[in-house]
């Protein structure tokens, strides 16, 4: 069976963005993939608007002080440190919600989706909200640019230097943590370097640090100036030399392109296609935009075997629901609770390897919550999710009880949905074709939900109620978890 134009376009929007938006969902039947891709590129080409939640504490509390030692002394005051820690926790929550809102509403969908990918690739947990904010800015600015530039900027960011202990990397006591992760997770992957390469790289990174203002500094007196042999090359290397040698090694292009293939195309890698991407990425000097163009404009990206098989991450799930159902939330904090319960909190990766993804997103408790989210959010609109009286009433009561329990848990975190925009998607569809059209718009999977099952739950009182209840019920299925 040929894949429809709509499904192909939704496939592109779910993978290169956060799913279709109510305003443009109707046009997906007619626009070509080529034009839709061009639109995604164009809307993401404007300069990045910084998500700025916090100021540099060194500016805020120093009153014009410039001597780094004085700043450090002031910032080490116990009372101030406690205050900064509490402030940072609040800032990180606000930053999380601001970025999630940007993913949902920004027209720069491709940039934000790639930023989410790099946020997991350069996984970093910083309790300093200013450092976390500056690292996010590096990632969002470089998300579609040069991988080499991003690698160097991330490696010199205070968030990453602190997270991977390079602040403690001195010539007398080399700390190998940073050097190891740069190779294992950020560039070549395991199996392409030796323990001796880790030791020698760590020596090259000695002296890379940051000052009390959170600025990168090179502490010459802490740097090991001796000769080092790394990946078969010998010289008096410093940190940038190590990063350049890693970029010169085509294993880096291979590792990154494979990771991108598994994230955006299919966990099961088709070697021929991935190798082609890798060679092109390397010869294009690590140009991320060109790599994505190669991937998203290839015929094989739209193969049926790649569609509707990826489990949405919690952030993709939340953003996708809110793009198709524009809504005003009563309580933004509910988004943090959902992230926590589903296992993906922005700025809090589980470890330096980031979120494992795939089937790891789903276990019995998180799946039950995933299926409830659309009903919790739409509870204000009293969408009829009860089965008809002659059907399984107990099941309907259980569903309503679960929705109420969760609604209470998220402290009124329900939403007011703009159903007018949603109805517009289907205004030209005849009544007898309506359910099929809604199903094609909401789901990407080959196996669709049976109409007989849906008929038990949809509200047929009016066309509008039919659309509301069909959309919410389809979003509450296991099939909706896939894109």
Q: pLDDT above 70 covers what percent of the chain?
A: 92
Distance in angstroms between the alpha carbons of the first and the last residue of the chain: 18
Residue of 52, 51, 21, 53 lying closest to 36 (CA atoms): 21
- Comparing 390 with 418, the larger pLDDT belongs to 418
Q: Average pLDDT of 419-427?
A: 96
pLDDT at 132 over 60: yes
Task: Tokens 């289907």: give the residue.
Answer: 426
pLDDT at 382 over 50: no
pLDDT of residue 410: 52
Answer yes or no: are the C-beta atoms of 87 and 129 closer than 8 Å: yes
Mean of pLDDT over the chain: 91
Residue 395's pLDDT band (cuts 50, 70, 90): very low
Q: Average pLDDT of 304-332?
A: 95
Answer yes or no: are the C-beta atoms of 200 and 228 closer than 8 Å: yes
pLDDT of residue 333: 84
| Total number of residues shown for the chain | 483
| Phi, psi values for residue 218, rounded to 5° | -110, 110
pLDDT of residue 408: 58
pLDDT of residue 398: 47
Can you say how many angstroms the Cα of residue 23 is from the centroid of all Cα atoms in its chain? 23
Q: pLDDT digit string (tens) for 228-237?
A: 999 999 999 9
Residue 394's pLDDT band (cuts 50, 70, 90): very low
Q: Average pLDDT of 254-282?
A: 98
Residue of 329, 441, 361 lying closest to 19 (CA atoms): 441
pLDDT of residue 455: 80
**Going by DSSP bridges, is the β-strand pair 216-218/327-329 parallel, antiparallel, or unpaired?**
unpaired
pLDDT at 458 over 90: no
Give the tokens for residue 108: 């720069």
Pairwise CA distance, residues 137 & 235, whole Å: 33
Pairwise CA distance, residues 341 & 339, whole Å: 6
Q: Where are the domains of the chain?
A: 249-306, 311-481
Pairwise CA distance, residues 38 & 145, whole Å: 17
Pairwise CA distance, residues 37 & 323, whole Å: 18
- Comparing 349 with 451, the larger pLDDT belongs to 349
pLDDT of residue 439: 95
**Strand ranges in 105-253 using DSSP code E only, listed in sequence order:** 208-210, 216-218, 228-230, 233-235
Give the tokens for residue 312: 């949405």
pLDDT of residue 212: 86
DSSP-assigned letter for residue 402: H
pLDDT at 386 over 60: no
Q: Average pLDDT of 138-154?
A: 98
pLDDT at 387 over 80: no
pLDDT at 61 over 70: yes
Q: Average pLDDT of 110-127?
A: 98
Pairwise CA distance, residues 347 & 163, whole Å: 12
> CB within 8 A of 227, min separation 6: which ones?
234, 235, 236
Looking at 3-7, 76-80, 134-138, which range is the least confident one? 76-80
Residue 385's pLDDT band (cuts 50, 70, 90): very low
pLDDT of residue 197: 98
Answer yes or no: are the C-beta atoms of 86 and 100 closer than 8 Å: no
Q: pLDDT digit string (tens) for 197-213?
A: 999 999 999 999 999 88
pLDDT of residue 68: 72
Q: Average pLDDT of 383-393?
A: 41
pLDDT at 221 over 80: yes
Pairwise CA distance, residues 133 & 346, whole Å: 12
pLDDT of residue 393: 43
């Amino acid at each position: 069976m040929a894949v429809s134009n709509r499904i192909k376009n939704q496939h592109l929007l779910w993978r290169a963005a956060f799913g279709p938006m109510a305003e443009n969902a109707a046009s997906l039947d007619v626009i070509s993939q080529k034009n839709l891709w061009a639109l995604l590129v164009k809307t993401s080409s404007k300069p990045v608007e910084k998500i700025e939640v916090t100021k540099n504490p060194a500016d805020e509390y120093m009153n014009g002080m410039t001597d780094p030692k004085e700043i450090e002394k002031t910032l080490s005051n116990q009372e101030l440190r406690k205050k900064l820690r509490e402030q940072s926790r609040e800032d990180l929550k606000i930053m999380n919600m601001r970025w999630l809102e940007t993913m949902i509403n920004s027209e720069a969908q491709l940039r934000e989706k790639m930023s989410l990918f790099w946020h997991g690739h350069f996984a970093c947990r910083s309790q300093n909200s200013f450092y976390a904010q500056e690292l996010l800015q590096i990632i969002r600015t470089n998300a579609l640019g040069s991988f080499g530039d991003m690698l160097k900027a991330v490696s010199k960011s205070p968030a990453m230097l602190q997270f991977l202990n390079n602040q403690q990397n001195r010539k007398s006591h080399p700390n190998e943590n940073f050097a190891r992760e740069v190779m294992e997770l950020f560039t070549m992957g395991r199996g392409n370097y030796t323990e001796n390469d880790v030791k020698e790289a760590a020596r090259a990174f000695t002296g890379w640090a940051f000052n009390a203002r959170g600025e990168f500094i090179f502490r010459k007196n802490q740097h090991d100036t001796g000769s080092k042999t790394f990946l078969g090359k010998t010289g008096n290397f410093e940190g940038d030399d190590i990063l350049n040698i890693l970029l010169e090694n085509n294993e880096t292009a291979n590792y990154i392109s494979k990771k991108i293939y598994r994230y955006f195309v299919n966990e099961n890698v088709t070697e021929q296609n991935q190798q082609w991407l890798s060679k092109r990425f390397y010869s294009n000097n690590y140009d991320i935009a060109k790599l994505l163009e190669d991937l998203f404009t290839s015929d094989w990206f739209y193969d049926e075997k790649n569609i509707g098989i990826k489990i949405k991450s919690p952030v993709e799930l939340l953003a996708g629901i809110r793009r198709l159902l524009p809504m005003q939330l009563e309580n933004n904090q509910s988004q943090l609770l959902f992230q926590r319960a589903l296992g993906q909190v922005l700025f809090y990766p589980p470890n330096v390897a980031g979120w494992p993804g795939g089937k790891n997103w789903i276990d019995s408790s998180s799946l039950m919550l995933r299926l409830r989210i659309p009903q919790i959010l739409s509870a204000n609109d009293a969408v009829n999710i009860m089965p008809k009286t002659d059907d399984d009433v107990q099941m309907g009561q259980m569903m309503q009880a679960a929705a109420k329990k969760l609604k209470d848990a998220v402290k009124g975190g329900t939403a007011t949905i703009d159903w007018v925009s949603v109805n517009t998607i289907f205004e030209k569809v005849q009544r007898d074709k309506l359910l099929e059209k809604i199903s094609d718009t909401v789901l990407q999977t080959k196996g669709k939900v049976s109409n007989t099952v849906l008929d038990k739950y949809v509200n047929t009182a009016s066309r509008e109620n039919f659309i509301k209840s069909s959309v919410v019920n389809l979003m509450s299925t296991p099939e909706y978890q896939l894109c």
